[in-house]
Amino acid sequence: MSELFIPDRTFTDKVYAAMLRGGKLMLEAHDIAVSIESKAGDKNYFTSYDIAVQELMYRELKAILPDAGFIGEEGEEHNTAQLSDRVCFIVDPIDGTNNFIACYRFSAISVAVADHGTLVAGYIYNPYSNEFFHAVKGGGAHLNDMPVSVSERPLCDGMVGFGTSPYKRELSERTFSVLRRIYPISRDLRRSGSAALDIAYVACGRIEAFFEGELQPWDYAAGSVLVTEAGGVITDVLGNPLPLSRPSSVFTSNLVCRDEAFDIIREY
């Protein structure tokens, strides 16, 4: 394999500009309820804005890197086979669609870049807070223009984020069993509705750990780069590397509380 493609600052600035335009579509959204449609999975919805943001990101990102592949959440064909032979964008146009539908104002655009299956950059933009989380392989993690890192707080003084895998509710018993174990020995729990932002919050030290029973690659690809570059760890709940071609469980944390939290989660 040839040398990895590592995005430079100009590339990152162009991706940010594209995400700003996508975020503008989200901020200007109206009549969201009339555009809701269902897809496979229990209570799994999307809106016309998910489609519009993805189409915008496709145009903008292909203009930045015309030969790159594009894997987006919305659409019938995700075509993950292209990951093995080219640079690819992995895009979630609106992570936290249920939040978006409810005007909860906690959703994000997530863009990862992979070169022949190796993640090399991650970008997550929350238009409601105007926060741009970004990381390039070997370059550290940043929030807007400031470097960030995972916290050094132990589990007893830490907050743990979690997802409920709402599209696969048979996992709920295991999820809540873990929470019953973790809650008494942590500072508190958090459920935000956006896995991409939860992972970014681990990367910048706002929460100490996060887990979910099943997520799609576009939910965690960008965040994986952020956490790794911020000095944390991210794997599936058995400690294996996260795949980019299929769904997976996800566990991420700082290094201080990793073993204690991971042992509890892995038990279930």
Q: How far apart are the first and last CA of the chain?
A: 38
Separation in Å, CA 117 to CA 15, 32, 215, 256? 20, 35, 18, 29
pLDDT at 73: 80
pLDDT of residue 41: 55
pLDDT of 101 over the 70 cut: yes
Interatomic CA distance for residues 11 and 134, integer angstroms: 12
Does the pLDDT value for residue 10 go beyond 80? yes
Residues of the chain with pLDDT > 70: what percent? 93
Mean pLDDT of 22-43: 74
Report the alpha-carbon distance of residue 69 to residue 81 in Å, rounded.
Answer: 10
What is the average pLDDT across 112-138?
Answer: 98
CATH 3.40.190.80 in the chain: give the residue spans.
155-267
31-35, 58-62, 131-135, 187-191: least confident range: 31-35
Class of domain 9-147: alpha beta
pLDDT at 35: 64
CB 114 within 8 A of CB 61: no
Residues 6 or more apart whose Cβ sits within 8 Å of residue 174: 213, 268
The pLDDT of residue 255 is 97
pLDDT of residue 34: 57
pLDDT score for 40: 55
Is pLDDT at 45 greater than 70 in this prediction?
Answer: no
Residue 165 and residue 172 in contact, taking contact as beta carbons nearer than 8 Å: yes
Q: What pLDDT score does 75 carry?
A: 64
Residue 80's pLDDT band, with cuts at 50, 70 and 90, is: confident
Query: For 111-134, what is the mean pLDDT?
Result: 98
pLDDT at 2: 72
Mean pLDDT of the chain: 92
What pLDDT does residue 55 have?
95
Q: What is the model's pLDDT at position 105? A: 95
Which CATH architecture fits 155-267?
A: 3-Layer(aba) Sandwich (3.40)
Segment holding 118, helix H or strand E: strand 118-126
pLDDT tier for residue 121 given thresholds of 50, 70 and 90: very high
pLDDT at 44: 58
List every span in the chain annotated with CATH 3.30.540.10. 9-147
Following DSSP, what letter does each residue of 149-211 receive, concatenated? Answer: ------GGG-EEEE---TTSGGGHHHHHHHHHHHGGGSSEEE--S-HHHHHHHHHTTSSSEEE
What's the confidence (pLDDT) of residue 42? Answer: 54
pLDDT of residue 166: 80
